[in-house]
Amino acid sequence: MGYHWSVLDLYGVSSSHELAELFLDSLLGKSLLEQLKARRIIQLAIKPFLFGGGICTIENLGFSMILNWPFQPQGNEYYATNFGHELFHTFQFNLDNMKPMWGESREELYKRMVNRIRKSKRYYRELENCAETFAFLWASYSDHRNQLEEFIDRFKNSVVDVQSL
C-alpha cells in the first residue's frame, strides 16, 4: 500500500491536487488585495532576497510574506508561482476560520512539524508538493498574474502594509 497523507482526511479529499483546488476555490473571484486580506497577509515585502519567497506569522495578527524582486526580473510566471506557493502556506498555518490543518496550538504545531519532518521527509514532500500544485493552479489564472504584476510594479523595493490599502 502506498503512502497516505493524513492531512487529506481532514478535508475529505483524496489527493493533494483536490486539496489545492479546495483552497483555491475559496479565493476565486477575489481581487489580489481581497485575497491578501482574506488570507490575513498584513505585510508584503517585495525586495531582492536570496530566495524566491517566504512567509512567517506576526503573532496571531496575520502573516508577513516576502516576495523576491530581483534586479533582473524573471517574468510574470516566476512571481506568480512563488506568490502562490507562499499563499498556500497561509492555509497550512491557518489563522482564520478555515478548518485547521493539524488542530493544535502554534507551539505544538511547530514541535510536531519538526518531529514529523525529521521522521518523515515524505510528509514534508507532500506538503511542499501540495504548495507547488496550488501555486501552479493559482498562477494559471491570467487575472491573478496580471494583478500581481501590477502590484509588484507599484510596490517593488518596499514593504507594504496591506491593511492600509
Neighbour count for residue 64 (Cβ, 10 Å): 17
Does 57 fall in a domain? Answer: yes
**Domain-located, residue 2:** no
Instruction: Classify residue 111: in a domain, yes or no.
Output: yes
Range of the domain at 141: 7-164
Q: Does some domain include residue 101?
A: yes
Number of domains in the chain: 1
pLDDT in tens, 97-110: 434 454 556 666 56
Q: Examine residue 114 and state whether it is found in any structural domain, yes or no.
A: yes
> Residue 1: inside a domain, yes or no?
no
Percent of the chain residues past pLDDT 90, beyond the cut = 36
> Is 28 among the domain residues?
yes
pLDDT in tens, 53-81: 788 877 667 888 988 876 555 666 778 89
pTM for the structure as a whole = 0.81
- 134 falls in which pLDDT band (50, 70, 90)? very high
Q: Is residue 30 part of a domain?
A: yes
The residue ranking higher by pLDDT, 103 or 6, is 6
**What is the residue-wise DSSP string for 80-105?**
HHHHHHHHHHHHHH--SSSPPSS-S-
